Chains A and B, each alone.
Chain A
Amino acid sequence: MNNLIKNIVCRQSFWGYPAARTLFTTPATRVKHIEISQEKDVVTVRGKTVESGREQLLVPQIKECARNGERFCPECSLGLDIKHTDVLILSQYVRSDGCMLPRRVTGLCKRQQKKIGTMVTMAHKAGLMGSLKPANCKKDPEKRYGFKKFNKYFFEDTIKLPRAICKQS
């Protein structure tokens, strides 16, 4: 029984299917948790949509912005002044290996995307997000090679933003 239940993540591309299968009852590209269970002769396959687990903790301004059709940015909408040491905020914008998520996922404005992406790099270099690293990386900053093992900090005003991006916002 247990070996039949698999947790897999599948992506059903709209265009990867023949023309006959262009109608779906659920969003086509939603992440699903597929459960396969067998009872005597009947095999049941269920696709459950996976929730991110963040719905309860979201700040209310996100929903407000979504309702008004505005873009939500921590600096523009909340007035937050994020530093590279705010790892609890920066870790929300990265993948499990510590890589910054693209703008179509984060939903930030161009300026914020660039700024937060740089601050994620700073936090990694300062060894503050050691738990979010690829498997082959040294997670403890003190075990890194050469000058990298020593503590360092950064100034956020050294983040250089292109003039075009500054003008937009």
Chain B
Amino acid sequence: MSITQRVQQWATFGRVWHVYDCSYQNPFDSAKVIVKYLKGMQKPIYHPMNDCGDHVVCINTKQIALPGDEWTKRAYFHHTGYPSSATWTLAWELHSKDPMMIMKKAIYRSLGGNLQRRHTMQRLHLFKDDKVPQEVLDNITNQIRQLRPVPQRLDHIDQEVIDNFPKIMDYPEDYLPKAIK
């Protein structure tokens, strides 16, 4: 085997580490994308019985965003098995307890059920903020593109930019601002 072919072999079967920034991302839409990388479905050599999945590092899972009033409408069911021990935890309550759980459950669910699921989940690394250990950071070679643009907060924009932004409304002549005391 020539050197070129050997490197080609490593590149084909080596596990790539991807990073995904979850800030302002819908966890359920993101899970569908992340699952493809975890299973290695983006590779031409993909086969369900071929162990070619990649690692995915999800950072800022505390900053995930849910649409509308879903924080209060989505419930997570749990049952310990004992009588009358069924619990329904709202998404925001679960997220306050564990900021990684919603992301983890979303990916676990969208992986689909087979015996490989638990092993595939081992290649997922979740971090609630951007503090990632250096040994994990050293492996990362690719970033997965975010699905939604991160909105900019008004108080994070420079006052100069706000002042010089083109205006599409001017106050009428008889407009009276709130009385200055």
Q: Which of B36-44, B66-74, B79-87 contacts A (4 or more CB under 8 A)?
A: B66-74
Contact A85 B178 (CB under 8 A): no
Confirm or deny: B90 has a beta carbon within 8 angstroms of a beta carbon on chain A.
yes
Q: Does B165 contact A (CB under 8 A)?
A: yes
Chain B 1-44 against A: per-residue CB contact (8 Å), 1 yes, 0 no?
A: 00000000000000000000001101000000000000000000
Which of A16-24, A56-64, A161-169 makes up part of the contact surface?
A: A56-64
Which residues of B lie under 8 Å from residue A11 when comparing CB positions?
176
Q: How many Cβ-Cβ contacts under 8 Å join chain A to chain B?
A: 126
Give the complex CA separation of A85 and B156 in angstroms.
13
A88-B63 in contact (CB<8A): no
Which range contains the number of A residues in contact with the other chain? 35 or more
What is the interface of chain B mostly: helix, strand, loop, or mixed?
loop
Partner of B68, one of A78, A128, A154: A154
Say yes or no: A128 contacts B92, CB within 8 Å.
no
Task: Count B interface residues, CB 8 Å.
Answer: 43
| Nearest CB in chain A to that of B64: its residue | A151
Q: Is the CB of A139 within 8 A of B68?
A: no
Note all chain A residues with C-beta closer than 8 A to B160: none
**Complex: A85 Cα to B173 Cα, angstroms:** 29
Question: Do residues B175 and A105 form an inter-chain contact, with CB atoms below 8 A?
Answer: yes
Partner of A130, one of B63, B154, B162, B165: B154
B95 CB within 8 Å of chain A: yes
Contact A55 to B170, CB < 8 A, known contacts A85-B151, A128-B154: yes
Q: Mark A124-161, 1 if CB is under 8 A from B, else 0.
A: 00111111100000010100001100111111001000
Q: How many angstroms from the CA of A160 to the CA of B73 in the assembled complex?
A: 20
Given contacts A151-B24, A153-B65, 6 further A-B contacts (CB under 8 A): A31-B175, A31-B177, A58-B166, A88-B157, A150-B65, A158-B68
13 of the cross-chain contacts (CB-CB < 8 Å) are: A9-B179, A11-B176, A54-B167, A54-B170, A55-B170, A87-B154, A88-B161, A91-B154, A92-B168, A127-B153, A128-B152, A151-B66, A153-B148
The 10 closest A-B pairs by CB, nearest first: A147-B92, A151-B65, A29-B174, A85-B151, A131-B155, A147-B71, A87-B154, A54-B167, A57-B167, A88-B165
